[in-house]
């Protein structure tokens, strides 16, 4: 028997997407703060402690505090927002992606009941889905894996929605099949996938290749989701062109710094 609310949804947009969730009477969706876009009359918005899942409700106040407190380790708030349809008919609430990319739908009932995701990927979910943390099993993976020791864990049997940057690639890995990936490009993977870190061999490769010292090694069986544009890569590129870093890059301009004066940037 399903423990999560059975919500319907529709995703709008191409590169800047939002997801519209249709709630039957008494159904609830939960979301991280800052992802809300709009809702219809008849939906009640309430700040809740943690994610409101059955897993978190057991164990008394101390258990709730410990469970919710772990979310601070992945940079999230102790609190989430619940949107409940208190009306008589169907009502809709929408949540927007924070930057250009795609919204990914995880049907946890078809994915073994557990997804491990990067810590800033989660957008919203049906009530009953537990949003916790997953510690990396290997020391090297935690130190050099790009996401640190801790990733986000989505558990349950309902729908969960995540967001990732650029184009999204979904791969099914067979038992023993290995995929080597830039650490920042990993969005999520199912519990059966083995995640490890491999050192890039060759001095020239890591000194002049521009790809860092390590990449992730994902080994099946299981499903993985990858993004072509990690937000860290996008932010780094924008920072290169920010005025506080010493002015824009000239992109081959023969005017050099004079170009900044001519177009009013200095």
Per-residue pLDDT, 77: 56
pLDDT of residue 260: 46
Percent of the chain with pLDDT over 90: 43
* Cβ atoms 152, 132 nearer than 8 A: yes
Q: Which of 2-6, 108-112, 130-134 holds the top average pLDDT?
A: 108-112
Position 89 pLDDT exceeds 90: yes
**Each residue's pLDDT tens digit, 168-199:** 999 999 999 999 998 888 999 999 999 888 77
Query: Pick from 91, 123, 103, 88: which is nearest to 22 by CA?
Result: 91
Identify whether the C-beta of residue 186 lies closer than 8 Å to the C-beta of residue 214: no
Domain ranges in the chain? 8-240
| pLDDT mean over 7-13 | 94
Range list of H helices, the chain: 54-57, 60-69, 139-144, 203-208, 231-240, 258-262
Q: What is the mean pLDDT of residues 37-50?
A: 90
CA 227 to chain centre: 10
CB-CB contact of 139 with 205 (8 Å): no
Band the pLDDT of 205: cuts 50, 70, 90.
very low
Report whether CATH 3.60.21.10 matches the domain 8-240. no
């Amino acid at each position: 028997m399903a423990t999560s609310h059975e919500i319907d949804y529709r995703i709008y947009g191409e590169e800047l997407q939002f997801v519209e969730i249709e709630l039957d009477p008494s159904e609830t969706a939960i979301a991280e703060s800052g992802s809300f876009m709009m809702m219809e009359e008849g939906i009640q918005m309430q700040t809740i402690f943690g994610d409101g899942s059955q897993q978190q409700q057991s164990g008394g106040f101390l258990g709730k505090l410990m469970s919710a407190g772990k979310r601070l380790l992945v940079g999230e708030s102790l609190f989430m927002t619940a949107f409940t349809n208190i009306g008589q008919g169907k009502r809709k609430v929408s949540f927007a992606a924070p930057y250009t990319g795609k919204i990914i739908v995880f049907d946890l009932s078809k994915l073994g009941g557990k997804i491990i995701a990067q810590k800033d990927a989660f957008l919203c979910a049906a009530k009953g889905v537990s949003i916790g943390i997953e510690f990396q099993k290997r020391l090297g993976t935690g130190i050099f894996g790009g996401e640190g020791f801790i990733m986000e864990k989505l558990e349950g049997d309902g729908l969960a929605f995540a967001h990732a940057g650029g184009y999204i690639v979904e791969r099914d890995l067979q038992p023993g099949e290995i995929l080597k990936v830039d650490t920042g490009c990993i969005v999520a993977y199912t519990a059966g996938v083995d995640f490890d870190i491999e050192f890039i061999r060759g001095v020239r490769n890591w000194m002049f290749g521009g790809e860092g010292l390590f990449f992730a090694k994902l080994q099946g069986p299981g499903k993985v989701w990858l993004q072509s544009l990690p937000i860290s890569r996008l932010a780094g590129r924008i920072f290169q062109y920010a005025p506080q870093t010493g002015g824009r890059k000239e992109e081959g301009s023969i005017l050099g710094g004079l170009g900044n004066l001519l177009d009013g940037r200095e």
